[in-house]
Structure 1
């Protein structure tokens, strides 16, 4: 049995504002009508995963149990972090290392955690990485 993940859903207080943030970060389009929900997707309707923003009356009150890891396709990790900060994100953990590896943990304008990693083009310039797994 297989599945398709249709939406990654964010509870939020302002769906259009938060959807606008994620639309700007991803470069995807913002879709909404008279309903309070907002969708951010490459296209709509779509068979690819979309981000769904649903207004709820309560504010975020605890650490996310799930978060998104994103990486740039046409910029660098550091440029994407700067763009996120310009759009209203805040850094809560900077795990970049002197050798260029690492990631940055941020919160979107409503406090949802996400991480920005290096893009494939940044990792390719450093050569292959070996991971040892203990079983």
Structure 2
């Protein structure tokens, strides 16, 4: 079995896909356009894509599943600043004085996701 997509229910699939495209650097599918009820962010081979599907109801409770992102080209703190500049909002800050921890952010529709320390920061 192969995990093909991670699907996110949302109000505006194209706008949310553009946000996640900017965060990940992965392209929005050429087949998708503003106003579409389903929009795909195409991931690199062997990584599931992100499929955004329009639903009538808004988000009302904490996500039951969320993304944990580990930056590859920046530090955790640099990535947090970059993603906030793209439109995310700070939700919970779990960073410690010793440099450990993570940051929980909200995407433009209020979905939680985390940014952890980079591989370099972990000494890997």
Q: For 1:30-45, what aligned pairs fall within 5 Å after superposition?
A: 30-31=28-29, 32-33=31-32, 35-42=36-43
8 Å Cα contact 2:92-2:103 kept in structure 1:
yes
Runs of 5+ unmatched residues, structure 1: 129-135
Runs of 5+ unmatched residues, structure 2: none
Higher radius of gyration, 1 or 2 = 1
Structure 1 runs of 4+ off > 4 angstroms?
none
Q: Which residue of 1 aligns with 2:85?
A: 86
RMSD, aligned α-carbons: 1.5
Distance 1:33 1:57 in 2: 20
Displacement of 1:36 in angstroms is 2.5
- TM-score normalised by L of structure 2: 0.90
Residue by residue over 1:96-127, the C-alpha shift from the partner in whole angstroms, topping out at 9 and shown as x without a partner, is 01111100011100010000001111111xxx
1:66 aligns with 2:65: yes
Aligned residues: 121
Q: Describe the SS at the equivalent of 2:98.
A: coil
Distance 1:119 1:47 in 2: 21
Distance 1:110 1:26 in 2: 17
Displacement of 1:47 in angstroms is 4.7
